[in-house]
Structure 1
Amino acid sequence: MKALINRGAQACAILGLCVLSAPAFATNGYFANGYGGQSKGMAGAGVAVSTGVLGMAQNPATGVKVGNGAAFCLTTFAPNRDVTIQPGGPLTPGKFKSDNDVFMIPCGGANWALDDRSSLGVFVFANGGMNTEYKTNFFSGLGAGSAPLGVNLEQAFITVNYARKVGDRLTFGISPILAVQRFKATGLEAFSGLSIAPGNVTNRGHDWSTGVGVNLGLLFEASPQWTFGAAYRNKIQMSSFDKYRGLFAEGGDFDVPAMLTLGAAYTPARLPKLTITGEYQRIYYGSVNAIANTSAPPQGPLGASNGVGFGWKDVDVVRLAAIYRKNERLTLRTGISYSTKFTNNDEVVINTIAPATPQWHVSVGGSYKINDRWDFTFAYTHAFSNSITGSNPALTGVAQPVRLRMHQHEIATGLSYRW
């Protein structure tokens, strides 16, 4: 067992490096809409139903249901992002499309049944989404600006998961998390004069940040038909991005917001092949000053504790999904999700470097049992095109209209192995 756990930990460390080698993706703000192919096939649902090894990222309590197994997944993420700037101000008018529109994001892990009531797992998953690269620096009219213009945020979470059935119907799970993130910004010279540390705003290369957090989960099987799930991940206090202490509020502080998820799953007695699940999730972006501080007066200078931010609000996500077990080999999934608006119209200008606009997602997917050991999982998610239009005279001097727009395609595939 110890050798298996060591190999699993080594594999997760390698996966963590792979995750950080690829720009990450934006869906609900910059949080992924589910982890692993099973969850992604249900538009991110998974707190009240087991979705395999990676499903423990959503609810650690599902580990007992996963049993002995390992999984590897690969997501191909294709966002389409553009900014349209109207004439009449210092920003360069025109339509600008962000490059880097296909990303490959790996994830994976393993789980071991310690006995019939407890399990131990290790796995890696990712968040992110502030990845943009514009060939034209449309901020150059504010004073200066090199090309390309953009930012890149990458995050990996390396997790150990313990789950235990504490009663006939109730299971508890806990996941200590090591969070690693890196960030770089280019082309933001126009904002250096607004900073308490002008030399630490842009073009400093990658900087790294680490922190430790915990994810807690409960799974309550009320009856053969009804299951309820709940999970809470605390706000992860990250070390500061020192190279960008003049960009982010509180001297380069960029913590990972807390997240709460509640859900229920129903399997009709007369149709046991079908399970319907619904979820509510809240992401507390508003508690992280670097993200939540407004870009309008009376905010302080960049890098200060009350410094300019992106004006993000807490986001609420609602999901409805279904699982249909067609036969012993094939399981089909589908789902839809909606998230509330992440920011106000008067914050649009600063969010041109992080246009996380999609609100509606729809997903389809399934799993096919190749044999008694191996399963193949697939999922497709479409984030519908959504735009936000606004202006910020405090930054541009005049009310120059700016529109952000994004839509996304995502294909997730995975292999799982049972022993």
Structure 2
Amino acid sequence: MITAFTRGIASCALLGASLLAAPAQATNGYFANGYGGQSKGMAGAGVAVPTGVLGMAQNPATGVRVGNSAGLCLTTFAPNRDVRIQPGGPLTPGTHSSHNDVFVIPCGGANWALDDRSSLGLFVFANGGMNTEFDTNFFAGLGAGSSPVGVNLEQAFITVNYARQVSDRLTLGISPILAVQRFQAQGLQAFSGLSVSPNDVTNRGHDWSTGFGLNLGLLFEASPEWTLGAAYRNKIQMSEFSRYKGLFADGGEFDIPAMLTLGAAYTPRAAPDWTITAEYQRIYFGSVDAIANSSAPPGGPLGGANGVGFGWQDVDVWRLAAIWRKSDQLTLRSGVSYSTEFIGNSGDVVINTIAPATPQWHLSAGGTYRINDRWAFTFSYTHAFSNSFWGNNPALTGAPQDVRIRMKQHEIATGLSYRW
């Protein structure tokens, strides 16, 4: 077991480095809609049903049910994003598309049963991210701007997971988290004059930030048919992006919002091969100034204590999913999710052109094929339906010039797991 544990630590470290080499998927705002192929096959559900090693990122208490298991997963993420600008102002009119449109993201980890009632896990996952690159700098008409224009935010989490079944019905879990993020901005010279630190707004290369957090979870078997799940990850206080202290509010702070998830799963006695699960999730984007502060007046200068942000509000996510254990070898899954609007003011649409994370509806399907008693292959496909927002911000652009941001997404997740 010691050898297996050592290998698990090394694998997670390598995966952490890989995750920061490519941006993570952006679905509900910039949070990933589920972790691992099993969860993604259910549109992100997994707080009340175990979904493998990566499912512990959603609910640490599922570790006891996961048992001795290791898994690797690979997500191919294809976002399609564009900005449409109407004539009548300084912004460059036309439809501008980001040409960074295919990303491959690894994830994985392992879990060990310590005894019949407890487990220890180690895994790496990507929380979210944004990567845009527009060849035409549509902000150049405001005074300055090099090409390309865009931002790159990458986040990875290295997590240790402990779960303990404290009674016949109740299991608790706790996950200490090391969070690492990297950021870069290009072509935003037009906004340097609005900053408390004009030389620290854009084109400063990549900057790094770290922080520690905690994820807590519980799993309660209310009856043979019903299982209830809950998880809460606290707001993670991150070190400042010092190279971009003139861009983000409060001198470069970019903390990671808290997240609460509640869910229930129902397995009917009359059809034990089926499980239906439903979830509610709240992502507290509104608690992070750099994300939540509005760019519409009255707002402080970029980088200031009340500095301009993206104008995001808290997001509520609803999920409904089904599992069909068709045979001993094949399990099928499907799900749908809906998230509320993340922009609370149409005046904030303009600033969100550099990161148009607009989708609200997601539809997923997938399954797991058990190759033999130890090996299994998981697959899923998710479609995030096209969605757009219109707005204008004369205080920022000098004219009521209408701007539309739009995004749709395709995502294929595959994974290979091993039990012992």
Q: TM-score interval w.r.t. the shorter chain?
A: over 0.9
Q: Could you tell me which residue of structure 2 aligns to residue 122 of structure 1?
A: 122
Q: Could you tell me which residue of structure 2 aligns to residue 356 of structure 1?
A: 357
Q: Could you tell me which residue of structure 2 aligns to residue 139 of structure 1?
A: 139
Mind listing any 5+ residue stretches in structure 2 that lack a counterpart?
A: none
Distance 1:7 1:266 in 2: 37
Structure 1 letter corresponding to 2:347: D
SS at match of 2:268: coil
Distance 1:90 1:25 in 2: 32
Alignment of 1:187-198 (within 5 A): 187-198=187-198
Q: Tell me if the contact between 1:131 and 1:150 (Cα under 8 Å) persists in the aligned partners.
A: yes
Q: Could you tell me which residue of structure 1 aligns to residue 330 of structure 2?
A: 330
Distance 1:73 1:303 in 2: 38
Alignment of 1:1-400 (within 5 A): 1-343=1-343, 344-400=345-401
Structure 1 letter corresponding to 2:116: D
SS at match of 2:332: strand
Q: Tell me if the contact between 2:300 and 2:306 (Cα under 8 Å) persists in the aligned partners.
A: yes
Q: Tell me if the contact between 1:282 and 1:314 (Cα under 8 Å) persists in the aligned partners.
A: yes
Distance 2:79 2:387 in 1: 12
Q: Tell me if the contact between 2:129 and 2:155 (Cα under 8 Å) persists in the aligned partners.
A: no
Deviations 1:249-276 (A, max 9, x none): 0100000000000000000100000000
Q: Tell me if the contact between 1:234 and 1:257 (Cα under 8 Å) persists in the aligned partners.
A: yes
Deviations 1:265-317 (A, max 9, x none): 00010000000000000000000000000001111100011000000000000
Structure 2 letter corresponding to 1:50: P
**CA shift at 1:6, angstroms?**
1.7
Distance 1:128 1:287 in 2: 17
Structure 2 letter corresponding to 1:110: A
SS at match of 1:193: helix
1:403 matched to 2:404? The reply is yes
Structure 2 letter corresponding to 1:201: V
Q: Could you tell me which residue of structure 2 aligns to residue 417 of structure 1?
A: 418
**CA shift at 1:23, angstroms?**
1.6
**CA shift at 1:364, angstroms?**
0.2
**CA shift at 1:230, angstroms?**
0.1
Deviations 1:55-113 (A, max 9, x none): 00000000000000100000000000000000000100000000110000000000000
What is the TM-score when the length of structure 2 is the normalising length? 0.99
Aligned Cα root-mean-square deviation (Å): 0.5
Distance 2:147 2:236 in 1: 33
Distance 2:354 2:328 in 1: 47
**CA shift at 1:403, angstroms?**
0.3
Q: Tell me if the contact between 2:70 and 2:110 (Cα under 8 Å) persists in the aligned partners.
A: yes
Structure 1 letter corresponding to 2:379: F
SS at match of 1:130: strand
Structure 1 letter corresponding to 2:372: N
Q: Tell me if the contact between 1:129 and 1:354 (Cα under 8 Å) persists in the aligned partners.
A: no
SS at match of 1:306: coil
Q: Tell me if the contact between 2:89 and 2:401 (Cα under 8 Å) persists in the aligned partners.
A: yes
Distance 1:250 1:4 in 2: 44
Distance 1:138 1:24 in 2: 25
Q: Tell me if the contact between 1:129 and 1:356 (Cα under 8 Å) persists in the aligned partners.
A: no
Structure 2 letter corresponding to 1:95: T
Distance 2:192 2:230 in 1: 43
**CA shift at 1:380, angstroms?**
0.1
**CA shift at 1:137, angstroms?**
0.0
Structure 1 letter corresponding to 2:389: I
**CA shift at 1:130, angstroms?**
2.1
Structure 2 letter corresponding to 1:29: G
SS at match of 1:333: strand
Distance 2:205 2:78 in 1: 25
Deviations 1:192-226 (A, max 9, x none): 00000000000000000000000000000111100
Distance 1:39 1:22 in 2: 21
How many residues align structurally?
A: 419
What is the TM-score when the length of structure 1 is the normalising length? 0.99
Mind listing any 5+ residue stretches in structure 1 that lack a counterpart?
A: none
Deviations 1:326-383 (A, max 9, x none): 0000000000000000003221000000101000000000000000110000000000
SS at match of 1:366: strand
SS at match of 1:89: coil
Distance 2:199 2:69 in 1: 49
Distance 1:296 1:407 in 2: 26
